[in-house]
Structure 1
Amino acid sequence: MLAVVALVDIATGREAGYMSLLALGPAFASLVGTVRRMLLIGSLALLTSLGLAVYNNLLGTRQSLVSLIVIAGVTAGGLVATVARQQRERELADVRSVAEVAQRVLLRPVPRRAGHLRAAVSYTSAAAEARIGGDLYEVVTGPTGVRMIVGDVQGKGLEAVETAALVLGAFREAAHDEPDLAGVSSRLERALNRRLEGEEFVTAVLVESAADGTLTLLNYGHPPPLLVHADGSVAFLEPGEFAPPLGLAELGADRPAGHRVPFGPDDQLLLYTDGVIEARDPAGRFYPLAERAYLLKAHDPETALEALRLDLLAHVATPLHDDVAMLLLRPRRDEGPSAGRQPALSE
């Protein structure tokens, strides 16, 4: 920019008076880079202005002095702006670091093998700003089968994280003690009623997988799970009756009855948050989850889920606007790696 202004000033002669435009250099330099870089650009602009003044025989004239004062003033203002910007960037980096640690502590790894199931989980946080999401998931072996929850807390930030932590803590305790999912959901509702106020709520789907190949689902305003059959056909497990999200018991709605479906030895169940189906491409089209179910064909569930996650990111082609959590479940087979806990795939 400084070179272009200097060339234009030389080409048009002393009467045009383009030297003051050299202040654009330090003005734009304040938007990026360090204080040292800002000082370098400002000094270079001042030297260029002096050189042009000498070349045009304007040294000491009003035009030359005004140019130098403008450049010096813009450089000084740019230094202040650069220091403030770098401070904000450091603060934002600290917030993001704390948010990432908090999210990892909250969403601990799920077991690769839980009872008769194999599990894989993927969590991708929204890239915009430093928001902490309220997406949650957990897998627990209960008294009558393997119990899972995937949910989404209304809102963002630390309050959403607190609510998610409350739900997960209540679920981890209730999933071991309660004889059925209805009891688990009642415990969650009571825990939330002690915490939430106003119109805050949590959408969630609770699933219990019995060893006899039966799934029982309770859906509280959450997107329906996707069942992928062995032959590649898919079905969204819509609840038999709709229920409001957890935390809205004051609406007086009846508790949903358990929705039971068969779960064959080669079937797959995908639980997810609304960040998946509400993700849009640049043309505004929603992510076609059912059409992309074929991506889950990989033998390893972690690999299959990662393929779906990468396809979702490619569909959006821009930073996600909402967190995305996905939990993939398959009937357990004897082959494969030894049991362990799988960290969430994230970015």
Structure 2
Amino acid sequence: MAFETSSSGDFACLTNEDCNNLGECIQNICHCNGYVSGSNCSTPFTEILGNSFTAFRLFFLISFILLTLYIIVNTYKSFHLWSHGKVGFKLKAINHLVILAFAILRIIYFSVDPWSNIDIFPYALSIFLYNFPLYLLFTSYQLFLLYWAGTYHSVSSVESGNIFIPKTKAAFIVCNGIWFGFEVAGVLSNLLKFSRSVSQIISLTFNIYLTMASVTIGIGFVIYGTLLYKRISKLQTNKEKKKATLRKLLIITIILSFSISCIIVPSIVFNMLKFVQHPTGALIYACFVHALECILTVEELVILKPRATGPNSNGTGNDKSMTTFDKRSSGANHTGSGVDTKSGADAENNNKDGVRKKLLCF
């Protein structure tokens, strides 16, 4: 989601200074940075939009401030549950920190110079403040997806306290490393004044990767949501609880897959129609992007809402009922030590399946 450029050929420029350093002079034509228009890049979109831009800025600034306050509360609750040692609780705490960083950066973005039209921040920093929070938001979704993958492929790894198995950890590092590399390249291309052709190549490659990464994440939620659905459906546990868990998993899978897809198609359409080259179109596109960010943030906060899995203070949820179950099993099979061992092992496996289900954060 890089900034697009607009251009006008009514003014013959000789250097970039003739374009007010807000664009690049190519063949005597100023090719302006995003959110700037005019033959010499002298008219910010904010001037044309006037009160509409002010309303847009205040609305999303207030929205992200309120979201941040809510995230802080949930982050505190998540770290309060960290001491219980459950991997699910730790995952929620880490994800809440990532989402909190995203929201704080968005507040800075809207507080200072969202469209880099008043020269408070350099254009490169404005682009960074726009793109990097998206990287953090997607990182939280990647953590969630890779946790699902790790849970499905290696339950023993999850139960021993490791969120990822080696393959999923490598996938997470590679995906985030590539994305972060594009973020750095985008900033450097503006700071070091790369040629327009090089900047366009970086932007195009980044958008292609962003599309592929988003589609992959969406498909990943479908695949592992289906696999986990099948695994949970085979658990020997309370039918009503299993039914409720499966229903919740199905809803979460559909919502997550649909949400990720919603980012791709409209963004491609907006760029193909060159909306951002015109003030009204740029405002509509910006409203769409930031509204979707708010929706995705709220969506993930609901899914990752920190709550103990039961009334017990140790966060183990149904430990009391499990203990009762174990006692009943032990009493019922008291006459045969060999059967006792087998039944105890089966009960322990069933209890691990129950813990495994709780770790899925459904």
**TM-score scaled by structure 1?**
0.23
Mark the structure with the bigger radius of gyration.
1
Q: Comparing both structures, which one devotes a greater share of its residues to helix?
A: 2
Q: Comparing both structures, which one devotes a greater share of its residues to strand?
A: 1
